[in-house]
A = this chain, B = another copy of it.
Amino acid sequence: MRLKAIRKAKGISQLKLAMDLNMNQNTISRYETGEREPGLAELIQIANYFHVSLDYLLEQTDNPERNL
């Protein structure tokens, strides 16, 4: 999860992000420390919030040959 870096790049706090996404601050913290994993719904919410792709968020080097 590249969450922490992305969030900081946007200069927003865990708390604000959490509130915007109707989550708990500690949940965000746990995602960032890797103590917990987000479900797919949360993952997508986060990606959409920051306008980043899931591959980017999950640090997948975008595979050049893909989709189908």
A residues contacting B by CB (< 8 A) are 6, 9, 37-40, 43-44, 47-48, 51-56, 58, 60, 62-63, 65-68
A56 to B6, CA, bound (A): 21
Contact of A53 among B40, B43, B48, B55 (CB under 8 A): B55
Task: Report Cα–Cα, A40/B43, bound state, in Å.
Answer: 9
Known: A39-B37, A47-B60, A60-B44. A68 touches B54 (CB 8 A): no
Please give me the residue from chain B that is nearest to A40 by CB atom.
Answer: B37
Roughly how many angstroms separate A20 CA and B15 CA in the complex, as a whole number?
41
* A-B pairs with beta carbons under 8 Å apart, 18 shown: A37-B39, A37-B40, A38-B40, A40-B43, A40-B58, A44-B58, A44-B60, A47-B60, A52-B63, A52-B68, A53-B54, A53-B55, A53-B60, A53-B62, A53-B63, A53-B67, A56-B66, A56-B68
